[in-house]
Amino acid sequence: MRLPIVMLIAALVVSACGGVITNGEPTTTQSVLASVAAQPTTSTTTLVTTTTQLQESTSTTIAPILGGITVRHNDGCSYEGPTEFDVNSAVTFTFINATEGLDIGFAVRKVDEGTSTEDIFEGVFAVSDEEEDRYSPYLNSERTRGIEHPLTVTLNRVGLHALICFQLSDDPNEVFPEHASTLFTVNG
């Protein structure tokens, strides 16, 4: 049974090769296979190219915006800088303690619309939510006099905001007024 299959394969190979016969002599299966193996071959290579389209990045790196300088004086705060920012801006404010005391802190807070600096002098918690309107981080006490202290916050709430200069005390019964250096707006 093997011999007829081999002969059939040899016949197919011979017919596929155009009936190769060397020197006009009949060929055997082995000589046909050897002849086919010795024939030069041509192969076709298909070149496949792919094009990759580069997409623009959809993520953005937020570079801090210089927000200006806030100085705590004995009678309040002063601010030199922009008064409007876009929502989700990372803003670096610089705070300086120009008082004789070391127990000065600085913070950024969202405040109720219509708030004035006088309202904040009376107490910032009357015009803002103590937890929800506070930005972190904030600069706590022990601010060295005359040194610039940067504070970067991401302004992620739309509305009226205040830069707060505050004074701390070891006595829990003693209340020091808080001062807003300026009010600014976060647009969204």
**Residue 22: pLDDT band by 50, 70, 90 thresholds?**
very low
Which of these, 155, 144, 48, 135, lies nearest to 103 by C-alpha position? Answer: 144
**Residue 130: pLDDT band by 50, 70, 90 thresholds?**
confident
All domains of the chain in start order, with CATH: 2-38 (no CATH), 65-187 (2.60.40)
pLDDT tens-digit series, residues 37-72:
455 544 444 444 444 444 444 444 556 788 899 898
CA distance readout (Å), 41 to 37, 44, 69, 140: 9, 10, 81, 84
172 pLDDT above the threshold of 70: no
